[in-house]
C-alpha cells in the first residue's frame, strides 16, 4: 500500500493544484469471489481515468484459491485492507463488517464507495456509507428474484434503496427499480461487468492445461442449501446424472460442502460410471470447461449469465432467478427443483435440440468503461 501511495503522490505532483484536487478517490468493497470478478474490470477502467482507488476485502468468504495468483489473473492488486470477519450467521457477520468498516471510511474519506452484487458485505458497507453520508454506487443493481426467503434478495432491496447511483446489467433491472420508487436519474443501464471479466479472461481460459476430457460432456455445479441439504432431492439428481452419464459424460467439480452431503448419502465419489466427481476448480479452469461443455447444470447466478454469453445451454435447478434475461433471451432454462424435468431437458440436448437464444444488450465487455465514464465524468 505504501508503494502505491508513493506512486500516486509522484503522479499527482506532475499535475496542477486544480487537477490534483479534482482527482477522485474511489473505494471498492468486496467480500466474496464473485465480487472480485465484478470489481476487477471496474478497477482497471477507473485506473485508465487516473482515479485513486482503495480495495477493501471484508473477509466474508475465505478461499484458498484467492492468492496473489488470483489477483494477478484478474489484473488487480491485492486488497489494501482486509477486515477478516470470517464466516458466521447473517446477523453476526453483517454486524462485524459494519463495526470494522466504519473506521476505514472515517480514515480514508473516499468520494465514492462501490459495492457489488448481493452478499452480506454489500449491504453492510452500504449501511455504513449511508449513515456517514458517503455516496454509494451499487454495481449489478435492480436484480430481483421476488423471493424474500433468499437472504440475497433482502440484501439487494436494501442496498438499492439507500444507494446514490445504481448500475444495472439489463433493462429488467431498470424496471424493477422504477417500480420500487427509485428516482430515474439514479439508474444507469451499463451492461454486465461479469461479462467484461469473462471476455478479458477467455483467451487465458482457452489456454488452460486440462486433464484428458471426454469428447462430449455435461458440466455440473451445485452448492445452494435448498438443493444439497435436501437428501431426497440430491439423491434423485445424482441418479439422473449417473443415468445420463451412460450417453453423455458428466463432469462435476464438487464444492466441499456438497461433497460432505454426497458422502453422507453413502455415495462413493471415487466411482464414475460416466459421472466424474472432481475437486473444485479455479475460475479459469471452470471457464475452460464451460467453453467446451454440451450443457451446464447449475444453481449459480453468475453461471446463468456466462453460459448465455458463451451460447452454451444452461439448466438451472432453482424455482426462480434474479437474472430473468437469461431465460427470456439467453440460453438458460429454469427447471425448478425437478429431477424428472432435468432428465427430460438433458435428453433433448443430447438429441441435438437446443433453445434459440441471443445476447442481451450491452453484454459486450465494455460495461466497466461505461461505469468509469459516468463516475469520472
- Give the residue numbers annotated as catalytic, written as ranges: 223
Could you give the CA distance from residue 337 to residue 237 in angstroms, rounded to a whole number?
9
Distance CA 301, CA 112 (A): 27
Q: What is the DSSP string of 92-117?
A: HHHHHHHHHHHHHHHHH--SEEEEET
Q: How many angstroms separate the CA atoms of 206 and 197, rounded?
A: 14
Residue entry with cell 458485505: 121
3-state secondary structure at position 69: helix
Q: How far apart are alpha carbons 5 and 20 in whole angstroms?
A: 14
Please, are residues 76 and 57 in contact by the beta-carbon 8 Å criterion?
no
Burial class (CB in 10 A: 0-12, 13-18, 19+), 354: middle
Question: How far is the C-alpha of 138 from the C-alpha of 48, rounded, in Å?
Answer: 20
The contacts of residue 353 (CB under 8 Å, 6+ apart) are none
Q: Torsion-angle region of residue 317: left (phi > 0), alpha (psi -120 to 50) or beta?
A: beta
Torsion angle of the four alpha carbons 254, 320, 232, 218, in this order, in degrees rounded to the nearest 10: -40
Residues in the chain, total: 377
Check if the beta carbon of residue 355 is closer than 8 Å to that of residue 329: no
Amino acid at each position: 500500500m505504501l508503494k502505491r501511495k508513493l506512486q500516486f503522490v509522484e503522479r499527482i505532483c506532475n499535475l496542477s493544484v486544480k487537477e490534483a484536487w479534482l482527482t477522485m478517490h474511489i473505494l471498492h468493497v468486496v467480500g466474496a469471489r464473485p465480487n472480485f470478478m465484478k470489481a476487477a474490470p471496474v478497477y482497471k477502467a477507473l485506473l485508465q481515468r487516473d482515479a485513486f482507488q482503495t480495495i477493501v476485502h471484508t473477509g466474508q468468504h475465505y478461499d484458498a484459491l484467492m492468492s496473489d495468483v488470483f489477483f494477478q489473473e484478474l489484473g488487480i492488486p491485492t486488497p489494501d485492507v482486509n477486515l477478516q470477519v470470517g464466516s458466521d450467521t447473517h446477523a453476526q457477520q453483517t454486524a462485524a463488517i459494519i463495526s470494522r468498516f466504519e473506521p476505514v471510511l472515517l480514515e480514508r474519506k473516499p468520494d465514492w464507495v462501490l459495492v457489488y452484487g448481493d452478499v452480506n458485505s454489500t449491504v453492510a458497507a452500504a449501511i455504513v456509507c449511508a449513515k456517514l453520508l458517503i455516496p454509494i454506487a451499487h454495481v449489478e443493481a435492480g436484480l430481483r428474484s421476488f423471493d424474500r426467503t433468499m437472504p440475497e434478495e433482502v440484501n439487494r432491496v436494501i442496498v438499492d434503496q439507500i444507494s446514490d447511483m445504481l448500475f444495472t446489467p439489463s433493462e429488467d433491472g431498470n424496471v424493477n427499480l422504477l417500480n420500487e420508487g427509485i428516482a430515474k436519474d439514479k439508474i444507469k443501464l451499463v451492461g454486465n461487468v461479469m461479462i467484461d471479466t469473462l471476455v478479458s479472461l477467455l483467451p487465458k481460459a482457452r489456454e488452460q492445461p486440462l486433464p484428458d476430457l471426454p469428447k462430449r460432456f455435461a458440466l455440473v455445479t451445485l452448492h445452494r442449501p435448498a438443493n444439497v441439504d435436501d437428501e431426497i432431492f440430491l439423491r434423485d439428481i445424482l441418479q439422473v446424472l449417473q443415468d445420463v452419464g451412460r450417453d453423455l459424460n458428466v463432469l462435476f467439480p464438487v464444492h466441499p460442502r456438497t461433497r460432505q452431503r454426497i458422502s453422507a448419502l453413502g455415495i462413493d465419489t471415487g466411482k464414475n460410471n460416466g459421472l466424474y466427481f472432481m475437486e473444485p476448480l479455479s475460475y479459469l479452469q471452470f471457464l475452460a470447461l464451460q467453453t467446451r461443455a454440451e450443457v451446464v447444470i447449475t444453481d449459480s447466478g453468475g453461471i446463468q449469465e456466462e453460459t448465455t454469453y458463451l451460447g452454451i445451454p444452461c439448466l438451472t435447478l432453482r424455482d426462480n432467478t434474479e437474472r430473468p434475461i437469461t431465460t427470456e433471451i439467453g440460453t438458460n432454462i429454469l427447471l425448478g427443483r425437478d429431477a424428472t424435468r432435468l432428465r427430460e431437458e438433458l435428453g433433448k440436448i443430447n438429441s441435438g435440440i437446443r433453445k434459440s437464444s441471443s445476447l442481451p444488450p450491452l453484454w459486450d465487455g465494455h460495461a466497466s468503461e461505461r461505469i468509469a465514464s459516468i463516475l469520472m465524468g
